[in-house]
Structure 1
């Protein structure tokens, strides 16, 4: 039952305090009878909102404009950090050319978010916590009984073995000391073997250093690949310490029945880790990635793609066309940009709608059911790449018009939520060029940017704090510079980025450690990247107009 219309009490007029209230002022929050309405609004009618009593508290209360009293602020200015503005503000010189959004629309959207969150909290999350709390209460209630039983058993065991126990204990301590010596000998022997290998590595490094510094041709050409000799780590020695197993005995059998010590055991356990491919994820990376399929898109040049699923992808190039292909290469659907210019990047929102940044209008747009709508329009900045986060936020890379600054901006809907631009020393995180900064979010909510112009991958945490930078690996970039293009992440939090000039894909772990690179699938100028839900990699071959599907993990 709605408490506003319930008949539990008779509501009286707040002015005369006797008549029954039939009306309500939604601005002043007072009950009114019909005769008192005129008196209430006698000062200025526009400052009041008279509604039926049953409709009270239905009018939205807008913030008052501090500049143009007593006008209400019914808009927000997107260019001024979403400050509230009234109609006079929107027409003022201060806000000339700015973009405004209706406060009521933002209010309704946030109301829906609050209602949805409240429903999830009430129906899904809160019951789970109640179950956890109930289980913990039961465990706490049973603690005393369980621990009392345990202390009773300990006391009884102590009473049984109190007599003549010291002699047997000392004997067993001696035996344990002898076993410890054997344990140390086994570990020492293995340590000596490891030291020998380390010595061999140092000698190899010394020899390699000599070759690098030498200008003699023969030693360099005759050099054989040394990494394989040391890549597989030696077996891991697993020595199981002795354990003590107590027995219930009488005094006559004290020594023989008191207990036994398990013998020392030694075994080797195969170490699956290697230097160039640590086993840091549940899925093991393939030594030789496999080319699964090649899709000929018809794009003259292809720059961007995003996965709908393992069998369908959206692609774009230098024209206004955005094409969706099935994995068999058949064209599924085509859309075009509103401006007629190429899209700078593609992404899919949480509802599966296609998003793109426009090369001409500096906007972020959404295509839904074949219709294009503008989500974000930048002023003084040029939009570049984008990605959708796990929480549904939008991350957009952008640069200013003169190419001196660049940044990452996080949006919730069309509302700016966060700007990532400088490190803790107020130095720019990214190069000044406004384009060629691909972006993705990792599973741990890190924001990963491939800054092509600077030749670096920059990774910050969710709060925008710098975690690490990656500038390539000497195994890959010894001939041509590292200029990363597309970037994506997989289910194991691995980061994959396209190395355009070295025709390969770098794979890093979430902490920036190089794992391996893909260069065996005849890749030619790799550009945009994406990974589907099964960790299949899709790669744009820029000048070939192809998309290659690659399996790189087991």
Structure 2
């Protein structure tokens, strides 16, 4: 009988549960007796006004939901335990007898109040914060033009100050040159005057002696003062050497450090707009992330054999720019080609006439080449070849230019028992990399070892004899050895030769045995093969757009390959 009582109680006051319903609150949608109206009106301060009307004048109630278990019944109650609306039949069935049951309109009313409170909070508290936040972000966006403009202006102004300093130095040096020139001129002018005076005296003496010789008068002859001994002492000719200007060469990296640098871009996250709590994290602006193509494609082919000096073998390639590429092979010429046209632009003959072993380009655009026969490393500036490194008891193998302007040179001892990498600043040896932490050799000796510096400053060496890529950090500590990936395109042992890196710190190495290029990440994990019908891939280089250039030893062609987006 309890269910019937609960159904009957639905017509009683929602507060006291005993008095007969006489009033109705249209705001909260509950029925009340007269005695409970005051208490109800004061019960919830969040509601400013309760619409209290007589029960018979109440507005029609909202439609009750249909029962999911009994199609013809409507649900006036709600089971909190099952979290479902229930009808009177459900209550009679005693399936919810031990559950906490409330009137659905009471739940409806309480939920309406909660939603009303949330709505008021969203309108009065949260929405204004969102508006203010959006306004602040828009203002920051509007300020960017000025702030970055001021930043560019500051850099320009600082550059003008440097130009001013340099202009002043140049002006002072030129003024000093003018002073020295004037002094030099005055010295020579005085010297010339003295010589001219002596010339006049000599001419006068010659004239006098000539007259005496032509005269028969004895008296002048006896009085003649001979000056031949005086004139035999020739006039002094001053030699004043002109001063020389010796420029102090500075690497671009040194200028950058002295000039100044930008701080990294800082991002601020605002996790709680209402509390204003902020967390700062710094993010360095780096190159955009690129994805490897599933199928790399050949963009163009440069046929070096068309240059007239046909390579017997094409050894190495080095990008001068995105439009020009240096090549070298089994001749004493190093040739510069147009990448887009495939035409020969320039030819450099080696200083000694020997075949170059390897080439590279510095970050200032100068060509560097190895002369293994001469045991030298040479740099080409404005068409002039300068030997910067000359080895004794060691033979240079390969060279690369670092981001700081240093040169890294791989070399073997004359007895082919030792191998090492040496870092040079100009002609000065800065660092030697030869052994690991256990004192064991890092590199095998006796064969070519191509070298490249990665974007993370790791030093990567393709060790031909060891069939491995050996990677050490900037300090020379071993990071990893990569010994190939199986299955390889031709299932041959890994045979690394040329090596290069790209903007993503990928390491690319030519596998001569499998006619492909391996791509590995900066931690030595294999990523992909580049297999574009290559024939004897040997020399590698990448341009600023991460296009790969492969020098083919057997075909004397350079293939330009697009391998990532």
- TM (normalized to structure 1)? 0.51
Q: Indicate if the aligned counterparts of 1:339 and 1:360 stay in contact, CA closer than 8 A.
A: no
Distance apart, 1:479 and its partner CA: 2.6
1:509 aligns with 2:516: no
Distance apart, 1:416 and its partner CA: 0.1
Q: Indicate if the aligned counterparts of 2:471 and 2:480 stay in contact, CA closer than 8 A.
A: yes
CA distance in 2, matches of 1:339, 1:284: 45
CA distance in 2, matches of 1:351, 1:122: 18
CA distance in 1, matches of 2:542, 2:425: 24
**CA deviation digits over 1:523-554, x for unaligned, max 9?**
01100000000000000110111100000001
Q: Indicate if the aligned counterparts of 1:306 and 1:315 stay in contact, CA closer than 8 A.
A: yes
1:340 aligns with 2:353: yes
Match of 2:506 among 494, 513, 517: 494
User: Which of structure 1's runs of 4+ aligned residues deviate more than 6 A?
Assistant: none
The change in CA–CA distance for 1:121 and 1:374 in structure 2 (over 3 A counts) is closer
**CA deviation digits over 1:217-238, x for unaligned, max 9?**
xxxxxxxxxxxxxxxxxxxxxx
Residue of structure 2 equivalent to 1:283: 290
1:318 aligns with 2:334: no
Residue of structure 2 equivalent to 1:550: 561
**CA deviation digits over 1:55-86, x for unaligned, max 9?**
xxxxxxxxxxxxxxxxxxxxxxxxxxxxxxxx
CA distance in 1, matches of 2:395, 2:548: 29
CA distance in 1, matches of 2:421, 2:259: 36
Structure 1 segment 398-413 matched on structure 2, within 5 A: 398-413=411-426
- Point out the more displaced range, 445-454 or 366-375: 366-375
The change in CA–CA distance for 1:293 and 1:427 in structure 2 (over 3 A counts) is same
Q: Indicate if the aligned counterparts of 1:494 and 1:510 stay in contact, CA closer than 8 A.
A: yes
CA distance in 2, matches of 1:373, 1:513: 40
**CA deviation digits over 1:219-271, x for unaligned, max 9?**
xxxxxxxxxxxxxxxxxxxxxxxxxxxxxxxxxxxxxxxxxxxxxxxxxxxxx
The change in CA–CA distance for 1:122 and 1:545 in structure 2 (over 3 A counts) is closer
**CA deviation digits over 1:343-390, x for unaligned, max 9?**
111011222111101021010001111111110000000001000001
Residue of structure 1 equivalent to 2:379: 366
Residue of structure 2 equivalent to 1:381: 394
Residue of structure 2 equivalent to 1:330: 343
Gaps of 5+ in 1: 1-106, 140-146, 154-279
Distance apart, 1:120 and its partner CA: 5.3
- Point out the more displaced range, 281-290 or 438-447: 281-290
Q: Indicate if the aligned counterparts of 1:300 and 1:544 stay in contact, CA closer than 8 A.
A: no
Match of 1:351 among 353, 364, 376: 364
The change in CA–CA distance for 1:477 and 1:290 in structure 2 (over 3 A counts) is closer
The change in CA–CA distance for 1:294 and 1:109 in structure 2 (over 3 A counts) is same
Structure 1 segment 145-544 matched on structure 2, within 5 A: 282-298=289-305, 299-327=311-339, 328-433=341-446, 435-476=447-488, 479-519=491-531, 521-544=532-555
CA distance in 2, matches of 1:549, 1:366: 26
CA distance in 1, matches of 2:297, 2:324: 19
The change in CA–CA distance for 1:281 and 1:495 in structure 2 (over 3 A counts) is farther
Distance apart, 1:124 and its partner CA: 2.4
The change in CA–CA distance for 1:288 and 1:347 in structure 2 (over 3 A counts) is same
Distance apart, 1:402 and its partner CA: 0.9
Q: Indicate if the aligned counterparts of 2:490 and 2:514 stay in contact, CA closer than 8 A.
A: no
CA distance in 2, matches of 1:504, 1:350: 28
CA distance in 2, matches of 1:527, 1:300: 14
The change in CA–CA distance for 1:443 and 1:120 in structure 2 (over 3 A counts) is closer
The change in CA–CA distance for 1:123 and 1:509 in structure 2 (over 3 A counts) is closer
CA distance in 1, matches of 2:511, 2:256: 43
The 3-state SS of whatever aligns with 1:343 is coil
Residue of structure 2 equivalent to 1:41: none
The change in CA–CA distance for 1:324 and 1:431 in structure 2 (over 3 A counts) is same
**CA deviation digits over 1:12-36, x for unaligned, max 9?**
xxxxxxxxxxxxxxxxxxxxxxxxx
Q: Indicate if the aligned counterparts of 2:251 and 2:405 stay in contact, CA closer than 8 A.
A: no
The change in CA–CA distance for 1:353 and 1:428 in structure 2 (over 3 A counts) is same
The 3-state SS of whatever aligns with 1:449 is strand
CA distance in 1, matches of 2:331, 2:500: 24
The change in CA–CA distance for 1:454 and 1:121 in structure 2 (over 3 A counts) is closer
Distance apart, 1:108 and its partner CA: 8.1
Distance apart, 1:466 and its partner CA: 0.2
The change in CA–CA distance for 1:443 and 1:477 in structure 2 (over 3 A counts) is same
Gaps of 5+ in 2: 1-245, 278-286, 306-310
The change in CA–CA distance for 1:457 and 1:371 in structure 2 (over 3 A counts) is same
The change in CA–CA distance for 1:368 and 1:474 in structure 2 (over 3 A counts) is same
**CA deviation digits over 1:264-310, x for unaligned, max 9?**
xxxxxxxxxxxxxxxx9811101110111111102221011100122
The 3-state SS of whatever aligns with 1:392 is coil
Q: Indicate if the aligned counterparts of 2:338 and 2:345 stay in contact, CA closer than 8 A.
A: yes
The change in CA–CA distance for 1:378 and 1:544 in structure 2 (over 3 A counts) is same
CA distance in 2, matches of 1:408, 1:546: 30
The 3-state SS of whatever aligns with 1:309 is coil
CA distance in 2, matches of 1:113, 1:496: 28
CA distance in 2, matches of 1:431, 1:339: 29
CA distance in 2, matches of 1:438, 1:495: 12
Q: Indicate if the aligned counterparts of 1:448 and 1:460 stay in contact, CA closer than 8 A.
A: yes
CA distance in 1, matches of 2:259, 2:351: 42
CA distance in 2, matches of 1:287, 1:113: 40
CA distance in 2, matches of 1:452, 1:395: 17
